Structure 1
Amino acid sequence: MAGNDLESMLGSLLGGDGKDAGLLGALIGSLSHGQGGGSLDGLLDGLARSGLTAQKDSWVGTGTNQSVTGDEIRHALPDDTLREVAEVAGVSPQLAADRIARELPDVVDRLTPGGEVPKASIEELVRRQTR
């Protein structure tokens, strides 16, 4: 999927102006080439290994989403991934982490209707949600 298509779909998924769609698109692109192969399971497993199990479970579950901080995201993502995402978005790694922390809970919540993680790439899940 072309980056701009993914950004457009993420913008639609996020609602509003979707200004962080490019940032999330860069994160998904980076994850697609790294550990987890771009799967939502891979991303969520990485967050859980970093101590964010309760947060990620709340995003997947059907209840209220727990928040996460930029610092927690910064520590959960590999440094090279966060640097790459920040560079693509033209922001500092800390600002990238803050923006990801703000948007990721809602995106994961929307990609896991019914409280289950579908078996597909994140790109495919986004595509399904924006059809």
Structure 2
Amino acid sequence: MGLFDTAVNDAVPQNNFTKPLIIAAGALLLAKWLKGGSSDEAQPETQASSPAPAPAPSAQQADTSGDGGLLGGLGGLLEKFQQSGHGDVINSWIGGGQNQPIQPGQLGQVLGQDTLNNLAQKAGVNPNDLLGQLAQHLPEIINKLTPNGRLPTREELGQ
């Protein structure tokens, strides 16, 4: 079981929304890693359980150019949070200490409507329902993905 699987299983309660949340989190956080895409080519993500993750992009390398809603993995999400003025929030999820909460509306501003709609479509759920679930569980998922206070390496993701 890889780091992503472990993080999601530890952070997301088992209920009717588990599978859509895992699909959306995988598309949001692992798209570039799982596809092995470079930072200048956008590739849609098909399944959160795809084989062989590619190297994690740094925030500087992440593709945030409207690639069908995928933000370029965790590095791209970090960059989006920083650009939207919520860098302190996501940094609390990555670093040690207590995770700061994020309201669904704030997360919606970070992600943008196109990204949210694409994630909801991939997950097969209503965008507002997905946004509420992501706001509730994304802090813990990211916290579990970054146990050392930094973005995981390819090797760490595959373990």
Q: Which TM class, normalised by the smaller chain length?
A: 0.7 to 0.9
Shift of 1:85: 0.7
CA displacement, residues 26-70 of structure 1 (integer Å, 9 cap, x when unaligned): 3336x5335287332211110111121121111011100000011
Deviates more, 1:54-63 or 1:34-43: 34-43
Give the aligned partner of residue 9 of structure 2. Answer: 12
TM-score (norm 2): 0.62
Give the aligned partner of residue 26 of structure 1. Answer: 27
Give the aligned partner of residue 35 of structure 1. Answer: 64
**The residue matched to 1:68 in structure 2 has which SS?**
coil
Shift of 1:99: 1.1
Distance 1:110 1:11, change over 3 A: closer
How far apart in 2 are the matches of 1:27 and 1:115?
Answer: 19
Partner amino acid for 1:112? Answer: T
How far apart in 2 are the matches of 1:88 and 1:114?
Answer: 30
Shift of 1:81: 1.2
**The residue matched to 2:148 in structure 1 has which SS?**
helix
TM-score (norm 1): 0.73
Distance 1:17 1:11, change over 3 A: farther
**The residue matched to 1:113 in structure 2 has which SS?**
coil
Give the aligned partner of residue 67 of structure 1. Answer: 101
RMSD of equivalent CA atoms: 2.9
Maintained 8 Å contact 1:23/1:85: yes
Shift of 1:97: 1.2
CA displacement, residues 4-32 of structure 1 (integer Å, 9 cap, x when unaligned): x99x9264343542702122123336x53
Give the number of aligned pairs: 119
Aligned residue runs from structure 1 range 95-106, under 5 A:
95-106=129-140
Maintained 8 Å contact 1:86/1:96: yes
How far apart in 2 are the matches of 1:45 and 1:85?
Answer: 18
Deviates more, 1:10-19 or 1:43-52: 10-19
Quick check: which one's helix share is greater? 1
